[in-house]
Amino acid sequence: MPVRASRILSLNLENQGRLKKRIISLDVGSVRIGVAVSDPLGSFAQGVTVLQASGGWMEELSSIVMEYGAGTLLVGMPFRTDGAEGQEAENMKKVAEGLSARFPDCRVISWDERFTTVLANQALIEADVSRKGRKGQVDKVAATLLLQSYLDSQMPGRGYGAENIMTAGEIPTDRRRRRKEKNAYD
C-alpha cells in the first residue's frame, strides 16, 4: 500500500519538530461565528465554516478543535477605532473566559479584529460574490483575515507594528483604481 506524499512530509516535519498545534480563530458575532484554522506549520490561515451563534455552537467548535488538533483558540477582540474597549470587547472577554473553561487544554488569545469584517466584505465584493453569498461567507473570511494577521505577527521579520496596519480606506481595490483612472482621463 503506497504512502501518501503528504503523510511522508508530515512525518519528516514531525521528526524535525517543525509542526505546531494548529490555531483556530473565531470571529464571533451576535448571529454568526466565522471559524478559520492554521496550517500545521503555522504559516497560513484557511476558512473552515460559519457557526450559528444561537444554540450549541460550543459543541460544534469542540468537534472542530478535536478534528484539527488545535492547541490555541484565537478570539477576535472588537476594539474601537481609537483602540478603546467598548461593550462588545467586554462581551468578548466573557466569551474568551467561557472558551478557557470549556477547552482547558487550549490557550485562548484575544486579537485585534478591527476592520476584518470590512476587509472581508471588500474582498468578497471584488470577487464578485453576490450579496446573498457574502452574507454566508463574510464571517469565515473575517476569521481567516484575523488568523492570518496573527500568524504574520509571529513570523520573524513580519511584525504587527503600527506601520503594518492599514485602514479599510487605505487599501487599494480594483474598483478604486478604475475610478481614479477614469477621473484622470476626464
Whole-angstrom CA distances from 178 to 118, 126, 131, 174, 184 are 20, 12, 22, 6, 10
- Could you tell me if 108 and 77 are in contact, meaning their C-beta atoms sit under 8 angstroms apart? no
Q: Please tell me the distance from the alpha carbon of residue 104 to that of residue 108, in angstroms, as a whole number.
A: 9
pLDDT of the residue at 3:
45
Q: Please tell me the distance from the alpha carbon of residue 110 to that of residue 75, in angstroms, as a whole number.
A: 5
Low-confidence stretches of the chain (pLDDT < 70) are: 1-19, 121, 157-186
- Could you tell me if 72 and 23 are in contact, meaning their C-beta atoms sit under 8 angstroms apart? yes
Find where cell 490557550 sits: 107
Condensed to tens digits (0 to 9), the pLDDT of residues 7-37 reads: 444 445 444 555 678 999 999 988 989 999 9
Secondary structure of residue 20 in the 3-state scheme: coil
pLDDT of the residue at 67:
94
DSSP 57-95: HHHHHHHHHHHHTEEEEEEEE---TTS---HHHHHHHHH
Q: Does domain 5-185 have CATH number 3.40.50.300?
A: no
Asked whether the whole model's pTM tops 0.75, one would answer: no
pLDDT of the residue at 24:
95
pLDDT of the residue at 183:
56
pLDDT of the residue at 2:
46
pLDDT of the residue at 72:
93
